[in-house]
Amino acid sequence: MTTPTAEIERQTAADILDPPKIPTELDGRRPEQRAPVGDWRVWLMHPGRRWGKGYAASRWIVDRVRTGEARSIALVGSTIRSVRQLMIEHPTSGILAVDPLARFMRSDGEIHWPNGAKAYVCSAENSNKPPLRGGGFDTGWGDEVDSWGLDTTARKAKEAWDNLSLSMSAGDSRLAVTSTPQPGRIVAALIARAKAEHDVSITTGSTYDNAANLSPQFIKDIERRFKGTRLERREIYGEVPEDVVGSLWQPGVFWYRNVKPDQCLRVAVGVDPSGGGDAIGIVAAGQLGPELFVVLDDWTTTGSPAKWARRTNELAEKWGADVVVAERNYGGDMVLATLKAASMQMPVRMVTASRGKHIRADPISLLYEQKKIAHRSGDAALDLLEEELRFMTTTGYVGEGSPNRADAAVWAFWELTKPRKTWGVA
Ligand SMILES: Nc1ncnc2c1ncn2[C@@H]1O[C@H](COP(=O)(O)OP(=O)(O)OP(=O)(O)O)[C@@H](O)[C@H]1O
Ligand SMILES: [Mg+2]
């Protein structure tokens, strides 16, 4: 899975291989890189990769500073580091690269302009604090909005988006939103809002539009990766599919309910210990009645075996789990040993994945369709899980990376729904 940090490294590496052509003329924007006309509140850019959206957003911020429309600006990224590296200090598309008048006060996290305008570094990790909380901004830029949840939790990412939206409170405030073409919740919601309320203006475009400013090597690389694959339209042309074709989890299948800790008759925690540096899926699910189930929490995490085993244990204890179900495929008995080492009290059932993920997921998706599975409302961070489920299709998983959360949830439900002679409190 591409994390924002990996993205920075990818870009930096690309810039070293390919010394960027720093635009020499004062303004070399293509017409689509200029803010659209009209009285939109949000300008959403989700073009193909390296189209120049960062460059366009930086230039737009500077335009507004120059005209005096921007006095107070929120710059929001996944982490403080990503705001600095991608939005401010990126050597060819950051704000400092396109405006020699901008002074970055690094330790304060502010950009100052001679006319008094100021921009503030805000991170999605910390959106409940100033500057984002309580700042009445007239101008904002949210970068890679649908990746925010990767550096923090889905709940914090959603909160950050809400805080950013609320803080754009000045009279004629304007917000630019840039995103990779991979559809996520925020971009999808903005696309829907563009249709319903007409206050969102959308710009897309293809990587090729910016070919003049990209190295032929980059174009070759991206073609090798995506051309002829089902990701080509998305990654190169910035097209967001209306819906995932053949998804086992169609829109509208998710519903939510409150669950009290002692309400579940049985609880299982599913664990999908994947290889490499990938996330370990950890999802708790419960049974509320003969035909009613609920996803309780998604505590998927990255990190050492000791860390994910501890998280699993904590989650199991939080809900008084009856059983932990862990997939054996990767790591074999190491998984069991790791869980035992974390002094896991409940029984651990090891399962072996003999069929494809989507085949295993299919019967569970039917239970969702029948509204027999709810998601816990409140502080359960289930957005990322829902996203993975939506990308599980009749022919396999079509999302990015591997669906660790979805797998963990499916294992938990396999355990809870498998035929039992009796059911009830163990
Ligand atoms: N109109 C332009 N004139 C000159 N250079 C440009 C123009 N638009 C973009 N570039 C250059 O193209 C490169 C890619 O632009 P930018 O980093 O803004 O792309 P991006 O869409 O944000 O990319 P990514 O998908 O990697 O986030 C940068 O080096 C930038 O300076
Ligand atoms: Mg960018």
Q: Is 20 in the pocket of ligand 1 (CB under 6 A)?
A: yes
Domains in the chain (CATH in brackets) are 16-235 (3.40.50.300), 256-417 (3.30.420.10)
Number of Cβ within a 10 Å radius of residue 350: 16
**Residue 288 to residue 146: CA distance in whole angstroms:** 33
Q: Which are the contacts of 169, defined by CB distance < 8 A and separation ≥ 6?
A: 136, 137
**Residue 163 to residue 139: CA distance in whole angstroms:** 14
pLDDT tens-digit map of 179-237: 987 666 788 788 878 888 889 999 999 999 999 999 999 999 999 888 876 678 888 99
**Residue 255 to residue 267: CA distance in whole angstroms:** 19
Q: If you ran DSSP here, which 8-state letter would residue 104 be given? A: E
Phi, psi of 27 (to 5 degrees): -150, 105
User: From the CA of 12, which ligand is nearest?
Assistant: 1
Q: Measured at the alpha carbon of residue 66, what is the angle toward residues 65 and 69, in degrees to the nearest 5?
A: 50
Q: How confident is the model at residue 424 (pLDDT cuts 50, 70, 90)?
A: very low
Q: Is 218 in the pocket of ligand 1 (CB under 6 A)?
A: no
Give me the count of residues in the chain.
426
Q: If you ran DSSP here, which 8-state letter would residue 374 be given? A: E
Comparison of pLDDT for 359 and 118, the residue scoring more? 118
Which tokens go with 425?
């409190």
Q: Is 51 in the pocket of ligand 1 (CB under 6 A)?
A: yes
Number of Cβ within a 10 Å radius of residue 225: 13
pLDDT tens-digit map of 48-69: 999 999 999 999 999 999 999 9
Determine the atom of ligand 1 nearest the C-alpha atom of 144: 27
**Residue 75 to residue 83: CA distance in whole angstroms:** 7
If one residue of 85, 213, 234 were mutated to test the ligand 1 pocket, choosing by the most ligand atoms within 8 A of its CB, it would be 213
Listed residue (154, 379, 377) closest to 255, CA to CA: 377
**pTM for the model:** 0.63
